[in-house]
Structure 1
């Protein structure tokens, strides 16, 4: 395997393991979860033992042809904490 491919493969494994390690939003207050997204602009948050997603402060952190849709997560103190948004593809036909 070429060195670049090995680096990409290692980075892929590291990203997956990082997304699955650490505290979940279930162990944070709503203010803490919101603060992470607000301060970083975009962050991968674990929302349960095997679930996670990438949350963004606003649409400027989404790729082209994506928009930020509002997102809520369960935290230690709130059942539906508005942490920011998640990037989703724009439906070109409907403008959404």
Structure 2
């Protein structure tokens, strides 16, 4: 029983560590930000001191009722860096 609890504690600690967000997009180059999104497929990034957003490589990472919308973030070498897409909710209005 004790080994199971130890295993669960380590699993929770490892999961919490992988969920941490790295440095803000403004501290990385545009290319580095874009490569991160392309490599991971979907990633949450710090876009300002108090703003976080989820960016995706393509619409394949969005939910069924969402669509990909182009996204730009500030980077160290480009104030309007195209990073990929953000998933936006579809409209029910016709």
Q: What are the residue-to-residue correspondences of 1:1-96 with 2, within 5 Å?
A: 14=16, 18-19=20-21, 22-94=22-94
Q: CA deviation at 1:50?
A: 1.3
Q: CA deviation at 1:63?
A: 0.6
User: C-alpha distance in 1, partners of 2:20/2:41?
Assistant: 18
User: C-alpha distance in 2, partners of 1:40/1:24?
Assistant: 17
Q: CA deviation at 1:80?
A: 0.4
TM-score by length of 1: 0.75
Q: CA deviation at 1:64?
A: 1.2
User: C-alpha distance in 1, partners of 2:53/2:34?
Assistant: 14
Note the aligned Cα RMSD (angstroms).
Answer: 2.4
**Structure 2 unpaired stretches of 5+:** 1-11
**Structure 1 unpaired stretches of 5+:** 1-9
TM-score by length of 2: 0.76
Higher-Rg structure is 2
In the comparison of the two structures, how many residue pairs are matched?
83
Which secondary structure does the structure 2 equivalent of 1:77 belong to?
coil
Which secondary structure does the structure 2 equivalent of 1:23 belong to?
coil
User: C-alpha distance in 1, partners of 2:47/2:59?
Assistant: 21
